[in-house]
Amino acid sequence: MFSNIKCQKKAINSLKQLISAGKEAQSYLFYGPKGVGKLATAFEFAKAVNCPNQKNYDACDNCSSCIKIDHFTHPDINFIFPTPKFDVTTEGDFRKESEQIQVQNFIKQIKSTPFSRYKFSKATSIQIDTIRRLERKILFKPTEGKYHIIIITEADEMTRQAANAFLKTLEEPPPYAIIILTTTKFSSLLPTIISRCQKVRFNSITQDVIENHLIEEFNVDKAQARIISRISNGNMAKAILMSKEQQIETRDMALDFVEFIMNNDLEGIHNFSDNFIQNRNEEVLRDIFDFLVLWFGDLLYLSSNQSRIVNIDQMEKLQNFNQIRQLSNKEIQEIILLIEQSKNLLAGHINFELIVIDTFFQIYNKIYGD
């Protein structure tokens, strides 16, 4: 039900108004930060428009249609997401069992919580073959529901060919079809795709909502929930992962780097960098960059607004760090900009080794001088 979606009242009200007026658009673009409920809302909307027992323009969650959508078995719901270039038949059946298992694991994790994320073994995208299969499917009217729903998550990962082919579907979708795209990278989509969709913006989730959700749904200790809610920076997905201790180690690694800086330990920084070069774990590196941005942001707040400090359990270390050298606000902002630029380079698939070495040693140089 829509009530399961946290902190997106404006987006939900907009969708419910369309349902109540019987004026559901045929193409939607749900956009906003990571981990805030875009995909979960897409499935709730699919349930609501196809539910025969609709209540207050929302799904009942008990009928056959709702249950099938929840279990990813509804014949009129097509869920498309980025995958490696798997070997499939024209009907979409997998030729290799190992590749089918990967997709099943992705679906399994989405079913357990839409906020989770699953890493495929190779680079992912939405290929033109997937769009071609979709085009053939929606030629047929829905078999059980009122609407044939197509949900494409991370739509920005469509290849150029796939995006151009998809434009034809967006231009003239059949009257019984509703298409929902989700993205965290609005500007990466073709302008022609954006212009053909009704746009629904999703916002970051507030700290108090994340904190309460962790306490009530995941039995997280109140003090720990408060810390995680700040560190997650409005991202419910990251907060849930941290509550399951899948990202606690990543934060600890970022704090290890801070320790190397505090101790002026160039050998430690070198070994730290070399570890990433050997493992090439871009996702962990990106998370560490996020934690470091929060750390240096806290240094800005240390003397001006301590109530905004994220790493509230690291106050002593923050103060000790600040005593090593009192960086000016401009110097701290330059370090934050450097880290953000490195994150963007990661997304652009620039030389991984160069990004690692350059970022960590530039931070050191900005603190201690060349």
pLDDT in tens, 288-309: 888 899 899 999 888 888 888 8
Q: How far apart (Å, rounded) are the C-alpha atoms in residues 66 and 7?
A: 23
Per-residue pLDDT, 62:
92
Per-residue pLDDT, 350:
65
**Are 299 and 219 within 8 A, CB to CB?**
no
Per-residue pLDDT, 119:
67
Terminal CA-to-CA distance of the chain, rounded, Å? Answer: 56
Per-residue pLDDT, 121:
64
Task: Return the domain boundaries, the chain.
Answer: 2-201, 206-246, 247-368
Instruction: Write the pLDDT tens digit of every residue in 251-298.
Output: 888 899 999 999 988 898 888 888 877 776 777 888 888 889 989 999
Per-residue pLDDT, 345:
82
Q: Where are the alpha helices (DSSP H) in 76-221?
A: 97-112, 128-137, 160-171, 191-195, 207-218
Per-residue pLDDT, 24:
74
Q: Which residues of 319-332 are buried (b: 16+ CB within 10 A; e: fewer)?
A: eebeeeeebeeeeb
Hey, what long-range contacts does 14-17 have (CB within 8 A, 24 or more apart)? 14/200, 15/41, 15/45, 15/48, 15/200, 16/48, 16/56, 16/57, 16/58
Residues 6 or more apart whose Cβ sits within 8 Å of residue 206: 7, 234
- Residue ranges in the chain modelled with pLDDT below 70: 92, 111-119, 121, 245-247, 280, 347-350, 370
Phi then psi dihedrals of residue 305, to 5 deg:
-155, 80
Q: Which of 175, 164, 354, 220 is nearest to 276 (CA)?
A: 354
Instruction: Write the pLDDT tens digit of every residue in 201-221.
Output: 999 888 889 999 889 888 888
Placement of tokens 């979409």 in the chain: 92
Question: Domain 2-201 belongs to what topology?
Answer: Rossmann fold (3.40.50)
Q: How far apart (Å, rounded) are the C-alpha atoms in residues 145 and 89?
A: 27
User: In degrees, to the nearest 5, what angle opens at C-alpha 62 toward C-alphas 57 and 66?
Assistant: 70
Coil/strand/helix, residue 202 = coil
The mean pLDDT of the chain is 85
Question: Domain 247-368 belongs to what topology?
Answer: Zinc Finger, Delta Prime; domain 3 (1.20.272)
Beta bridge partners of 79: 151
Same fold, 2-201 and 247-368: no
Coil/strand/helix, residue 335 = helix
